[in-house]
Amino acid sequence: MTEELEAIAAAVRKFAESELAPYAVTWDQDKHFPVDVLRRAGELGLGGICVGEDVGGSGLGRLEAVTIFEELARGDTAIAAYVSIHNMVASMIDKAGTAEQRERWIPGMAAMTDLGSYCLTEPEAGSDAGALRTTARRDGDGYVLDGVKQFISGAGSSSVYVVMARTGGPGPRGISAFIVPGDAPGLSFGANERKMGWNTQPTRQVIFEGVRVPLSQRLGEEGDGFGIAMRGLNGGRLNIAACSLGGAQWALEQATRYLQTRSAFGAPLISQQALVFQLADMDTDLNAARCLLQHAAGVLDNQGADAVKVCAMAKRFVTDAAFTVANSALQLHGGYGYLSEYGIEKVVRDLRVHQILEGTNEIMRLIIGRALVEEAA
């Protein structure tokens, strides 16, 4: 890493160690969403990491972003993942928005005084995002939105919702994107879902019942929504992979310390060669994952022709490897790994969903495979 990147990592690590790590288990148990801490993260420049400096963002690249999210996740995987989603929303507005939209919506998001949510998935449209049913009907100088979004992180606490809705015919080309404020009349939310992990961030349905959106809040042109959503997911996939990497790295370090202090059959566990070999494999897997993730970040920064494929590869490989390492760290703790006070079981629960969201890892394989076929044609 460059000196600048090392300084960024050190600053984020200090924030994660002081503001996130001491409270992560309690927040998880209480299902507490620490909005005040997120605002302090915004003061550090973490609300608009890859957003232009002219509207309050940090103006950093994807390599810096994945480094930041790895460090954040060492403090709290679930909060780091929400910050990832928030940044994806801010970046979508930054990249696809007009000058007026950028100036109106991004400064508050960059400061994290205004939180953001990404609204694509629906009860009957998950991996098949092109089949979404939420509609945006043209009405005078604006649109009227009706429908339901599912599994929306930050819902009910966010101030800005980027929503994909159908303005045209079936399929991806009929989808447009809209910016909807959290206080819009007709906007409501379902109950906070009870989940396996990610308990410290709210996950709710977002319900649109005659929500009026002026033309000035359409993001891009009609029919651009699916492309905007997919381009946003390229960066989102790298960020969520980095969150997996950070959580797994922390779990590996905890397991290493545990084996050094725990004895069995008259000797420290660390003296057993089989366990040392397992630590070595875990460390190797995480370093391989980090190399692929950093490579993908460079490809995306340079707008490489194969960016979609490489981002899918990184998301699939890193989240799978990280979950396996975290689960192995729990196993190395024995029964203590199953206790909430050690924090390992929380990381395992939090990382499991990373293999599902931002496109399931099965869909990542489909993207990679199709790209291979096209390259061979």
Summarize pLDDT for 298-343 with one digit per residue, the tens.
999 999 999 999 999 999 999 999 999 999 999 999 999 999 999 9
**Amino acid making up residue 366:** L
Is the Cβ–Cβ distance between 304 and 315 less than 8 Å? no
Segment 233-257, tens digit of pLDDT: 999 999 999 999 999 999 999 999 9
Query: Rounded to whole angstroms, how far apart are CA atoms 194 and 24?
Result: 18
**Catalytic (active-site) positions:** 358
Q: Quote the DSSP letter at residue 16.
A: I
Is the Cβ–Cβ distance between 33 and 157 less than 8 Å? yes
Average pLDDT over every residue of 37-56: 97
**Contacts of residue 184, Cβ cutoff 8 Å, sequence gap at least 6:** 211, 212, 213
pLDDT for 130 beyond 90? no
Percentage of residues in the chain having pLDDT higher than 70: 100
Query: Rounded to whole angstroms, how far apart are CA atoms 7 and 13?
Result: 10
pLDDT for 159 beyond 90? yes
For residue 179, list its beta bridge partners.
162
Please tell me the predicted confidence (pLDDT) of residue 2: 87
Coil, helix or strand at residue 65: helix
Percentage of residues in the chain having pLDDT higher than 90: 96
pLDDT for 44 beyond 80? yes
**Contacts of residue 128, Cβ cutoff 8 Å, sequence gap at least 6:** none
Is the Cβ–Cβ distance between 332 and 262 less than 8 Å? no
Coil, helix or strand at residue 97: coil
Q: Tell me the two tokens of residue 159.
A: 């101030």
Please tell me the predicted confidence (pLDDT) of residue 122: 96
> CB 10: neighbour CB atoms within 10 A?
11
pTM: 0.96
Is the Cβ–Cβ distance between 109 and 84 less than 8 Å? no
Q: What are phi and psi of 151, to 5 degrees?
A: 60, 45
Please tell me the predicted confidence (pLDDT) of residue 129: 83
Element of type H or E holding 284? helix 273-301
Q: Quote the DSSP letter at residue 133.
A: -
Query: Rounded to whole angstroms, how far apart are CA atoms 225 and 264?
Result: 58
Determine the distance from the C-alpha atom of residue 260 to the mean position of all C-alpha atoms in its chain, rounded to a whole number.
33
Query: Rounded to whole angstroms, how far apart are CA atoms 188 and 156?
Result: 8
Helices 3-15 + 62-75 axis angle, to 10: 30
Average pLDDT value over all residues in the chain? 97
Q: Tell me the two tokens of residue 183.
A: 């206080």
Smallest CA-to-CA distance from 295 within 243, 241, 248 is with 241
Residue found by looking up tokens 């308990």 in the block? 199
Query: Rounded to whole angstroms, how far apart are CA atoms 334 and 57?
Result: 44
Looking at 200-348, which runs of residues are DSSP E strands?
203-214, 218-219, 263-264, 267-268
